[in-house]
A = this chain, B = another copy of it.
Amino acid sequence: MTKPLFRKVVIFGVGLIGGSFALALRRMNAVDEVVGFGRSAQTLVQAQQLGIINRSGSDLAAELGDADLVLLATPVGQMAEIMARIAPHLGAHTLITDGGSTKCDVVNDAYKHLAAHISRFIPAHPIAGSEQSGATSARADLYQNKKVILTPLPENSTDTVARVRLAWELCGALVSELTPKQHDEVFAAVSHLPHLLSFALVHDLAQRENRDLLLSFAASGFRDFTRIAASSPEMWRDISLANRDALLIEMGRYMSELETLRNALAEADGNKLEEIFSIARSVRSNWTSQ
């Protein structure tokens, strides 16, 4: 038997992201032991029953000194606090990575709270979101052929980046690299904005007196457009706040775009409407999700 990549992995947050990472590494025999921490004792018990973790941890000092890898897989709003709590106990060789959907804020938090360990903190964002959450939605194949973006820091050595990259590749992911700022701008446009727009549409309809009538006639277009409006409110509150600057720019752009559409409609400018729809259709039809 070859030696596993990691002897001990410690995961904070054993839900969809953290739980699936653990299941994938365990299935590949890439880890001897997975220890879980989390806010909910019940979730940790469930995660153990589901074979996600070997056991739940209780003593940070006891668990972190000999950990090979720590994954922070909580909503981004909790990461600063967890970083501050784990920093005193991390081993001299412990790698740290995360699964946060935003990167500039997590990197800022890391410079502040993980300063002594910053060379071993390799930020990551697995693009495997789902409107589902919780340990029960974790799956060993969640990352299969999904993109994971690393946003390495200047302080990271090539070796540490390669090791974290390998962990995600063992999970089946296609790993690429961006700077934290590039990452946040890209995801404000293609992920965070669409989530806000979808939440906004359903919230708008939810306020109506005739809501039930409206929803009874909603069909497949509505179904797909609003699938992401069933996502975790807490997670998306945190993402929105964490990527506020880039997201405000995207919202501004989008509202101008709507203003253009509204004017074209108010003026019954069919050519303008058709031009906008045609460009959109052409780009969307040529795009395929990887």
The chain A residues found within 8 Å of chain B, CB to CB, are 127-130, 146-147, 149, 186-187, 189-191, 193-206, 208, 211, 213-234, 236-238, 240-241, 244, 247-248, 251-255, 257-259, 261-262, 265-266, 268, 270, 273-274, 276-285, 287, 289-290
Contacts and interface: CB of A to CB of B under 8 A. Distances in A.
B225 A228 contact: yes
B284 A217 contact: no
A236 B211 CA distance: 24
Nearest to A204: B257
A148 to B, nearest CB: 11
B279 A203 contact: yes
Nearest to A262: B251
B201 A197 contact: yes
A211 B190 CA distance: 10
B229 A241 contact: no
Contacts of A284: 202, 226-227, 229-230
A206 B240 contact: no
In the complex, which of the residues A223, A227, A270, A283 has the most CB atoms of chain B within 10 Å of its own CB atom? A283
A252 B225 CA distance: 19
Given A190-B222, A251-B258, A254-B258, 15 more contacts: A189-B208, A189-B214, A190-B218, A201-B254, A201-B257, A202-B279, A203-B277, A225-B225, A230-B281, A230-B285, A236-B277, A237-B273, A247-B265, A248-B265, A258-B258
B283 A205 contact: yes
Contact of A237 (B220, B224, B270, B280): B270
A190 B203 contact: no
A214 B214 CA distance: 34
Nearest to A182: B213
A268 B197 CA distance: 18
Contacts of A202: 279-281, 283-284
